[in-house]
Amino acid sequence: MDTFLFLIVPYLCLAVFVVGHYWRWTYDKFGWTTRSSQLYENRLLRWGSPLFHFGLLGVIGGHVVGLVVPKGWTEAIGVSEGIYHFLAVSLGGLAGVATVVGLVILVYRRRTVGPVFMATTKMDKLMYVFLAAVILLGMWNTVASSVFGHYDYREGVSVWFRGIFTFRPDPALMSEAPLGFQLHALVAFALFALWPFTRLVHVFSAPLGYITRPYIVYRSRDEDREGTRAPKRGWEKASR
């Protein structure tokens, strides 16, 4: 059972994630958008959206540190267990609260503002359920592990997670983890599988190129866009 849940399911979900994105990018670039509803309603969005998104960016940063950086590394640079735990809970908690508050505002808005609700697809609703579940389970884990006894996920979940990418996953590490962590991981992987088929794809179009590109974009035929037909007779290109 553990092998299935914590070995097969993650790989399946990641495969769907990768192939799904490839498929979506190839066949549905037009559908690749944030599908903003700001035009319909701005007052709630003005607060909810930045809270949620910036909070989530913090949360993702925290996960990168917690999951990807091995415990030995932070200890090597002199961050003790106590300091690490304090930082994780305080900063993580702050980002988490911002995310949850943002999420609540956004979900409330989605449900109560008529036009926004009308523009919500079935896929959106499904995605919201999983997204909310992941976030709430994550919050619960943070709270629970500091209130009722401490589980060091950096020696369990994190090692397992890194194992997935080095192809040496150890499902046993997960079966020892508290139920909250198990569920959080499973729902997260389910969300990864849903990802390419929802509006979440907009995460991958974070427009970082904007910082460096020239302001005005010119486009024209250049050599490799010149078309597949040979040029017709009668017109010579001016040489430079």
Partner 1 sequence: MKVMAQMAMVMNLDKCIGCHTCSVTCKQAWTNRAGTEYVWFNNVETRPGLGYPRGYEDQEKWQGGWKLGKNGKLTLKAGGRWKKLANIFSNPKLPSIDDYYEPWTYDYETLLNAPAQKHFPVARPISLISGKPMNVSWSANWDDNLGGSHENASRDVMLKGITDKVKLEFEQTFMFYLPRICEHCLNPSCAASCPSGAIYKRAEDGIVLVDQDKCRGWRMCVSGCPYKKVYFNHKTGKAEKCTFCYPRIEVGIPTVCSETCVGRLRYIGLVLYDADRVLEAASVEDDQDLYEAQRNVFLDPSDPAVQRAAELAGIPGDWVEAAKRSPVYALINRYKVALPLHPEYRTMPMVWYIPPLSPVVDVIADTGHDAEDKGNLFAAIDTLRIPVEYLANLFTAGDTKPVDAVLKKLAAMRSYMRDINLGRDPDESIPESVGMDGETLYDMFRLLAIAKYDERYVIPTAHAEQAHALEELATECSLDYEGGPGMMGESGPFGEGSGELTPVAVENFQMLKQRQTSDTISGTEKKGRVNLLNWDGKGSPRGLFPKKGKEDDH
Residue 150 annotated as binding site: no
Question: Residue 49: in which H helix or E strand, if any?
Answer: helix 43-63
Is 101:136 a contact under the CB 8 Å cutoff?
no
In terms of CB distance, is 167 or 223 closer to partner 1? Answer: 223
Q: Which of residues 17-36 bind partner 1 (CB under 8 A)?
A: 28-36
Q: Does 112 bind partner 1 (CB under 8 A)?
A: no
Q: Does 218 bind partner 1 (CB under 8 A)?
A: yes
In terms of CB distance, is 166 or 223 closer to partner 1? Answer: 223
Q: Does 217 bind partner 1 (CB under 8 A)?
A: yes
In terms of CB distance, is 87 or 119 closer to partner 1? Answer: 119
Residue 21 annotated as binding site: no
Q: Does 123 bind partner 1 (CB under 8 A)?
A: yes
Is 51:109 a contact under the CB 8 Å cutoff?
no
Q: Does 216 bind partner 1 (CB under 8 A)?
A: yes
| Nearest in space to 92 (alpha carbons), one of 113, 119, 69, 65 | 65
CB of 100 to partner 1, least distance (A): 16
Is 214:42 a contact under the CB 8 Å cutoff?
no
Place of tokens 């990802």: 195
CB of 206 to partner 1, least distance (A): 8
| Nearest in space to 130 (alpha carbons), one of 180, 183, 94, 204 | 183
Cα separation, 94 vs 197, in Å, equals: 30
CB count in 10 Å sphere of residue 96: 23
Q: Which of residues 168-207 bind partner 1 (CB under 8 A)?
A: 197-199, 202, 205, 207
Cα separation, 195 vs 149, in Å, equals: 34
Please identify which residue in 54, 128, 140, 151 interacts with partner 1, judged by CB under 8 A. Answer: 54
Cα separation, 12 vs 7, in Å, equals: 9
Question: Residue 132: in which H helix or E strand, if any?
Answer: helix 122-147
Q: Does 61 bind partner 1 (CB under 8 A)?
A: no
Applying CB under 8 A, the residues found at the interface with partner 1 are: 28-42, 45-46, 49-50, 52-54, 114-115, 118-119, 121-124, 197-199, 202, 205, 207, 209-211, 213, 215-221, 225-229, 231-232, 234-235, 237-238, 240
State the binding site. Answer: 53, 63, 184, 202
State the binding site for heme b. Answer: 53, 63, 184, 202
